[in-house]
Structure 1
């Protein structure tokens, strides 16, 4: 990234599974901003991705939802 930030992704054969869910403590999940959560949800579901029901952020009133990556870690879609 231009500001020097980076994301590192690691994968290890035989790594133990760990429970993970959006409300867990510590490193929780990545979030992606989208213009329309419903359109993104519909697209993911058309690709056979299971997506949670859309929720509304109590503070901002914005829509969001979660789905899992191939390692079953949570990813968030947040409407801007």
Structure 2
């Protein structure tokens, strides 16, 4: 979801329907995102919203993604390790 959103957000003009669907996918896994992923996604989202404002005179407001402090490396280890 992260890689797909970042790739799609770089396209101009962006496919806003796909962008919105992918953002929902990103939002569904936000617990697992690293600080670096959150930063990249927030920056990409801002670029989309700037394009949207320039071309449609509308802007969607979403709170920025932040890493969840409860997330740690144990979520990525297979059981028994």
Structure richer in strand, relative to its length: 1
Q: Same fold (TM over 0.5)?
A: no
Higher helix proportion, which one? 2
TM-score of the pair, normalised by structure 1? 0.24
